[in-house]
Amino acid sequence: MKCVGTGILLIGLGVLGVRTDARAAGSLADVQIIDRDTGNVLPMYRSRGEYWVAGRPGARYSIVIQNHRGERLLAVTAVDGINVISGETGAWGQSGYVFSPGESYEIAGWRKSNAEIAAFNFTAAGNSYAQRTGRPANIGVIGVALFLERPARVPSYEALDRVPERSGYAQNRIEGARADAAAPAPALGTGHGARETSYVQNTTFDRLTTTPNELIKIRYDSYENLVAMGVVPTHPAWQRPNPFPDSALPRYVPDPPGG
């Protein structure tokens, strides 16, 4: 079945100078979470078969995606179970961002128009955009569904006379159930922050398949909560390092018991 959908074409982006090391998820593309207030890439913890990041309450953040393919790639992106472009409850067949070969882009907020976004920021779950719009079930998860593009074919004269119609994609929800373990601090969600300028334009993208070629899920919460859930390992108290740890005392033949 031919899958013709829509996407957002990124304007004048190039490749960002963002590290793509072990703190990135994905194989078709690198996906990283950035604390925009510090510029730091958030470390990813691997636990229970999932990726986790620790967000700072109040901090702005972004999702950086870099396409490593030699062809265009579509990234349908959802935060807290909500499509970041349309605001619909997340499904694979919805609008996404289209990346040219080698291109990188920083998704920094909820898209309000082709020229503006409302910034992502870590906030208490009760103040999140998902909670405020009556959809709290999937707070705490970022999903990126990656699609390869069908190779271009020479259109027939009949096809030139019609506007491509959107196919009926399976409306699978992006999974985002939260951990059952008790946490000492309020859970984090993503807020609908200040307006910022961000330019894109519409384009078409013919998906190779109706289901994602790769599905990336990154869960998030505060550092304290991740420690409480056992996601972040706890470390022993810091001790002053000793260059000769086994030479604290002189070693001579010891006296026998009783002197």
Say what the pLDDT of residue 48 is: 81
Read off the amino acid at residue 255.
D
pLDDT (tens, 9 = 90+) of the chain, 259 residues, equals 333 456 666 654 444 433 333 478 888 999 999 999 999 999 999 888 889 999 999 999 999 999 989 999 999 999 999 999 999 999 999 999 999 999 999 999 999 999 999 999 999 999 999 999 999 999 999 999 999 999 877 554 444 443 333 333 222 222 222 334 444 578 899 999 999 999 889 989 999 999 999 999 999 999 999 999 888 877 654 556 666 666 555 556 566 566 5
Q: Residue 143 belongs to what H/E stretch? A: strand 141-148
Pairwise CA distance, residues 178 & 199, whole Å: 33
Q: What is the pLDDT of residues 234-257, one digit of tens each?
A: 765 455 666 666 655 555 656 656
Chain position carrying tokens 């079945």: 1
61 token code pair: 């953040």
How is residue 240 written in tokens? 């002053």
User: What pLDDT shows up at residue 3?
Assistant: 37
Q: Where are the domains of the chain?
A: 3-162+169-228
φ/ψ (deg, to 5) at 196? -140, 155
pTM: 0.73
What is the b/e burial string over 40-68, where b = at least 16 CB atoms within 10 angstroms of the residue's CB?
ebbebbebeebbbbbbbeebbbbbbbbbb
pLDDT value, residue 158: 47
Residue 29 confidence (pLDDT):
94
pLDDT per position as a tens digit, 100-126: 999 999 999 999 999 999 999 999 999
pLDDT tens sequence across 20-37: 334 788 889 999 999 999
pLDDT at 23: 73
**pLDDT 10s digits, 95-105:** 999 999 999 99
* pLDDT score at 259: 56
The pair of structure tokens assigned to 74 is: 């579509």
Residues 1 and 83: their CA atoms lie apart, in Å, by 24
Name the 3-class secondary structure at 78: strand
The reported pLDDT for the residue numbered 15 is 41
Q: What is the pLDDT of residue 26?
A: 83
As to burial, measured by CB atoms within 10 angstroms (0-12 exposed, 13-18 middle, 19+ buried), residue 75 is buried
